[in-house]
Structure 1
Amino acid sequence: MFLTQNKFDDNYFEVYSFFKGDTSKFLFQYWIRDGRSISTDEEWRTKTLVESSLGRVNIDAVANFELANYFLEHTYVSVTIVNNRTQKQTAGRVTLLKKLISKETTYVPRFQSNLQYVSHHTLGLAIDVNDDMYPNKNIETNHELIGTDVREHLVYNGIKTDDKGQQYYDFTYDGSYSARFERVPKTLINYLLYELAFFRAGFQWGYYYESACDGMHFTLAEFDINRHMYSDVGLRKIYEYIEDANIPTLESLVNGLPSPTPEGATSTPEAATPAPEE
């Protein structure tokens, strides 16, 4: 079977635009395995997929992934916790953004859970981050859980500098969500990762799906607009970033892309890989 336009949800033209009209980069032969897992055409994989710092991705997307990884590895945050009842404060710890990631998944050949539409993980255009944290599960009620905590209980205090001279983004949280990772409430973690890394690298966030809430999902070609920027629905709080003359541009990253495996080279047979629900 071949992927065709009707195998894309409502984002075929977003994908078409991302690949600048070259359908050979995203329409290819595939085979059904079991459940919603598929096998993709070996020649397509050989030409198209490369390793990035965040996993196996599409060669046309690797610059975005590398830029996101740069921000993850060079950005620090601190979240001070305020007990609403006692007003006691627990000082935040200056933490590297990448340490807020416990798990990540990129290329997984499969369809969405509805079995009708191809997952953008198959195309190498998406990454799931921290799917092991409850607020990031694809559950509609998590939209309010994350949205309320970020919008009403998280205050951005600006850019600060610690005693060692490290600049960081400083926040205060006065909500009640108690489950934490690296001292940060889990309701906030993927928001921080998106706001300070993936958003800046051109990704969209599955939190903003209109019919669901997929807080684990960062993607490059599934929305016609990026809702994060709009005040009526968006959660954006940061508009000025720490100055860093070493931030690479997408163009410079494209010029340094790895080469795909040469056509005809031996490749490892594709194995079914479990992935979070989408």
Structure 2
Amino acid sequence: MYWPPELVTEFVKLMPGKLKAAGLGEVGITPGETSNWYRFGTWGYVEALLNDENALQELDLITSHGFYGGYYGRWFGEHKSAGIDRLREKRPELHAWVTSTSWSNMDAYNIKEMHGNIYTAKVNAIIPWAGIQRPPHWVGGDPNPGSAFTVSEDGNYTIRPGYYFYKQITRAGQLSMAVAQASAMDSEIAVIAFASNGTNNPDAFIVTNIDMKEQKVKVFLKGTNATVFEAFRTTKLPDATDIDKIDEKYVSLGEYKVEDGGIVLTAPAGSVTTFFAK
């Protein structure tokens, strides 16, 4: 079904009353899901909401899929915050959630896509595409066959590489922590950082290397009092032909001391390394 911007806006206004009448008044309203943030921001949905004050005030959460398509054409979809930014100009308190994003080949690119959603699209939460899969239930086959778990028809399940990469980011970014500023002077290195923000969770950061070769990286740290970090790593070679092959599964790398304002690490090709303040 095609949902033009005008229809989405009408439903944003219609549904609060319907939900309240059904005893579901605490359920919030979203604009649904475009397939990526580029479409949300450029296909007219934001303008329709901004041009209708009643709809804008009924909106509780900004949502979209967060898939990335970097080549111009029908399926182009960059990580872009323009639509989110414009809505937040009028409603600064609005949060934005990714309601589905690719597992890629269950590799470091999966975490790079999350990096783009966090730092470029400026989202507050990410829900990946179908973390638990039952392949026979997809008509015509699953178009995005990665997952954290696959359940077979006999009731058994398989823990897949996606689980270990997902663990690298979800153990670091916990409830009520804050996204911290992070940057890297190499487009094949992505750094994600989370501040404790008054929680019991430690400051943490993640270094992702999507390069075909290992890279030596120095991460300069500011705003944390920690002098020692504990590290864990998951690795899958970028040229792996078997989608379920994995080289390291959240292995402990021991402790790293902060020296001269930072930590030096060697990041293998296709690796994601997570550091937790001690």
Please say whether Structure 1 and Structure 2 have the same fold, judged by a TM-score greater than 0.5. no
Shorter chain as denominator, the TM-score bin is: under 0.3
TM-score, structure 1 as length reference: 0.23
User: Larger RCO: Structure 1 or Structure 2 (Cα < 8 Å, ≥ 6 residues apart)?
Assistant: 1
* More strand by percentage: 2
TM-score, structure 2 as length reference: 0.23
